[in-house]
Amino acid sequence: MAQGDMKALARCITIVENELEGHEELLASLDFKKNVPVIGITGPPGAGKSTLINSLLKSISAKKQRAGIIAIDPTSPFNFGSLLGDRLRMSEHFNSDNIFIRSLATRGSLGGISAKTIEVCDVMRNFNFDYILIETVGVGQSEVEIAGLADTTVLVLVPEAGDEVQTLKSGIMEIADVFVVNKADRDGADSFVKHLISLVQSKHANIPVLKTSASSDTGTDKLLEAIAGARKGKEKHALLLAEKAWRLIQQQRMKGVDKRQLQENLAQLSQNEGFNLYLFCKQYHGKP
């Protein structure tokens, strides 16, 4: 895998994502000294995250560099299916020798970050990429979650956000290392950027605020430069590892809980007289 075999990488990810035979040995063999930057691309739905990543990939390819993309797609809470639509917007890179794209379903994760994102990202770190990009679904808590997994977090907004920026949760504003106003060719973009700069730099003077127009590949080279200059320092390394460890431990302890089975159990038991959800949860052991 370390020699650049994309097919081998895809097989390794499948083994880890689905916990197939040998997945524990594979994870235990990973080299955590590999220094591949992980970039989280987050922001509200409609901000153009996928189009922006597509534009970044063009810049990365032009520099003869390699990139791995993890596109996280929402899973329906009703049929547990995922549209995996983000891959379609990056279709021009499917056959590129230096671009690898993998979609992960959230599989019921409340925050929008797939339960397997950490493992898949670490597998990809052991591949010879220059960048790993993670795109979140942009559903509120995912913006904060990605900050615990990525070396650098890019928050993508659009001019239409306007006064909505004032109402963004402080946690979301705090996690960004780079702010991007995408679709900057639209009316009101310049005034929105000025407003955002005033808001952001009143608290963090060194955080860059950039304009891009991903559909015309404008501003993405400057964004790559800003990403390179915004990587978190060594003082954040232990914090990132602790966040990842916490999520992995949480995931291990939840292994016995099958959400589909949980739904089936509740569909039957909730009809019983005297049913109490809290008693059910206290007694539940993940078995039918």
Task: State pLDDT tens for residues 141-169.
Answer: 555 677 778 889 899 999 876 555 655 65
The pLDDT assigned to 160 comes to 78
DSSP helix/strand/coil, 73: strand
Do residues 75 and 108 make contact, with C-beta atoms less than 8 angstroms apart? Answer: yes
What fold is seen in the domain 30-255? Rossmann fold (3.40.50)
* pTM of the complete model: 0.81
Rounded Cα–Cα distance for residues 77 and 248 (Å):
22
pLDDT above 60 for 3: no
Rounded Cα–Cα distance for residues 279 and 164 (Å):
41
| CATH 3.40.50.300 location in the chain | 30-255
Phi-psi region of 71 (alpha: psi -120 to 50; beta: other; left: phi over 0): beta
**Mean pLDDT on 120-126:** 93
Rounded Cα–Cα distance for residues 50 and 74 (Å):
14
Work out the pLDDT band at 122, boundaries 50, 70, 90.
very high
Closest CA to 149 of 179, 114, 186: 114
Whole-number CA gyration radius for the chain: 20
